[in-house]
Amino acid sequence: MPSVLDQPVAAAAAPLPPRSLPPGFIPSRHGAAREQARGLLGTLRLVMRGDPEPDAARWQAMGEDLMRGDAPADRLVEWMLAGDMKVTRPLFERALENGIESVPEAPAPLREFFAVVERRPDWVDMKLVAEGALVNDRGGMDYFLVDRDLALMGGYQASAFNKALLLTGALQKGAGRRVAETVQWWLDCTEKGGMERFGVGFKSTVRVRMIHALVRRHVGRLPQWRLEEWGLPINQVDMAATALAFPMVMLLGGRMMGVPLTRRDSRAAMHLGRYAAWLIGVEDQWVPRDEREGRILLYQFSLSITNPDETSKQLGQALMNEPLQRPYTRLRWLRRRYQYARHLSVSRFFVGRAGMRNLGLPENVLPWYPLLRAPPNLLWRLLVWLLPGGRQWQARHGRRATIAFVRSMTGPESAQIGQAARHITEAAA
């Protein structure tokens, strides 16, 4: 299937087909497999206090927000596509790289967008954001495995989101490259000073926000897209549920892999995640302030959007087989088979037998890797904490290991993955 981003911009900017949807319309995907989803959430339910079930008002709001995008970014893209992308995209890039004041001729839509993203919310504490980045680095490869084999793999059970992904030609890019690009974005966010106004994480996140709006417009105009059934592509709920992977799911799964956390660690990591989610376009009511809120939101979102189908298996199997194509230069066969088995065991540990079945993965896999890793991992990490400078060493070591592993997934092409968002806008132009 050709990518929608390879289509001429003129065609992509065509008027929307006539739709007669009443105000407050809720697409049929909302809660379509609610009982099945509840059965998949048993493990999460064990680590939650109180009743996480959404009340009627919350459930209604969640359903309606399957039809809502990101108004500031959507207006920006309307302006960009109404003109010549070879002109409007460089203006966007100049404002992003140097500030909106560097574009004195900037039209209103561009100024309005940057007025939003450059106005840092009062609740943001940049010292806490920086601490959150170090918490992420200390988790290292354990956090990477949780994000890949739980958050990403398990997330494929939300089939409407899969359809938007498939219509962008994502399978043609390859599962390894998709994972590497996502992790590279988070590495940008956790770079030292990365979330400052001109930091690499801030700029990467704003680019991704613009890309989401571009894809939302393109995919939403395709005749294959069933608006009444699936809602708006890359809507508020889908964006918010995806943002929970960084770092809420990461922290939860990391503990089960033997990564200890203090209360301050949890607070800092969640604060970083909250700012990143806000900056990428998720509205405040769907951004958790702490892990407790995050777990409740994850549970409620899962009730709404979990609805596995054949696309879940299509994407799940592609990700399962990704290690078998990695461009290792030494001991290639052995390393590929080991990584294939390790990733499957982590997925089996977290998503369970039913989840493996939904994703088209082998159900008889044993969760050997997390079970063998967690006890010695916890002991080793606690011992390192007792050493002078141990936590700082752990952060440096964890970050280096994650970067090296991401590079091993993509080979020589990995030098370019940090520019993924730029490449997509160029394709659209």
Domain assignment of residue 48, yes or no: no
pLDDT, tens digit, 9 for 90 and up, residues 100-144? 999 999 999 999 999 999 999 999 999 999 999 999 999 999 999
**Torsion sign across C-alpha atoms 359, 66, 209, 400:** negative
Residue given tokens 């900017």 in the structure block: 13
Whether residue 165 is found in the same domain as residue 86: no
- For range 154-165, the mean pLDDT: 94
Q: Does residue 102 contact residue 93 with C-beta atoms inside 8 Å?
A: no
**Rounded Cα gap, residues 346 and 74, in angstroms:** 37
Predicted model pTM: 0.91
DSSP label of 138: H
328 found inside a domain: yes
Residue 108: half-sphere exposure toward Cβ, Cα within 13 Å? 1
Tell me: do 107 and 150 sit in the same domain: no
182/223 same-domain check: yes
Residue 115 carries which side chain, given as an amino acid letter?
A
**Confidence class for position 325, pLDDT limits 50, 70, 90:** very high
Residues 229 and 357 in one domain: yes
Could you say which of 88, 119, 150 is where a domain stops?
119
In-domain check, residue 152 = yes
Please check whether residues 115 and 152 belong to one and the same domain: no
| 206: nearest Cα among 120, 140, 271, 147 | 120
pLDDT band at 422 (very low <50, low <70, confident <90, very high): very low
Give pLDDT tens digits for 345-396: 999 999 999 999 999 999 999 999 999 999 999 999 999 999 999 999 999 9
CA dihedral over 365, 300, 147, 387, signed as positive or negative: negative
75 and 134: one domain? no
Residue 268 structural domain: 122-428
- Do residues 194 and 95 both lie within one domain? no
User: Does residue 217 belong to any structural domain of this protein?
Assistant: yes
276/180 same-domain check: yes
The helix/strand/coil state of 263 is: helix
Amino acid at 233: P
Q: How many folded domains does the chain comprise?
A: 2
- DSSP symbols for 39-71: HHTHHHHHT--S-----HHHHHHHHHGGG---H
Q: Are residues 327 and 281 in the same domain?
A: yes
Same-domain check for residues 169 and 89: no
